[in-house]
Amino acid sequence: MAVIALAGCSGAPGVTTSALALLLSWPLEANRRMILAECDPDGGAVLHGLLQGTLGDRYGLRNLSVAARKPGEFSDAFWRQLIDLSGTDSERGSPRDRLLLPGTTDPTQSASLTSVWKILARMFRGIEAESGHDVLIDLGRRGAYGPSGVLAEQADATFVVVRNSLRCLQAAEGRVRALQERVGDMGLIMIDEGPYPAGEVQRVLQVPVIVTLPYTPKDARVLSDGAEQPRHFTKSPLMRAARTGSTLLVQRAALRRARLDPRGLHTAGGEVTRAR
The torsion angles phi and psi of 267, rounded to 5 degrees, stand at -85, 140
DSSP of 25-55:
H----TT--EEEEE--TT---TTTTTTTTTT
Range of the structural domain that residue 267 is part of: 3-274
Count the Cβ atoms, other than its own, within 10 Å of residue 203.
10
Task: State the CATH number of the domain containing residue 203.
Answer: 3.40.50.300
pLDDT at 88: 61
**Mean pLDDT per 10-residue run, the chain (276 residues)?**
90 89 90 92 92 86 87 89 79 72 90 91 88 91 90 95 94 92 94 96 97 96 94 93 95 86 50 32
pLDDT at 30: 79
pLDDT at 86: 87
Q: Number of structural domains, the chain?
A: 1
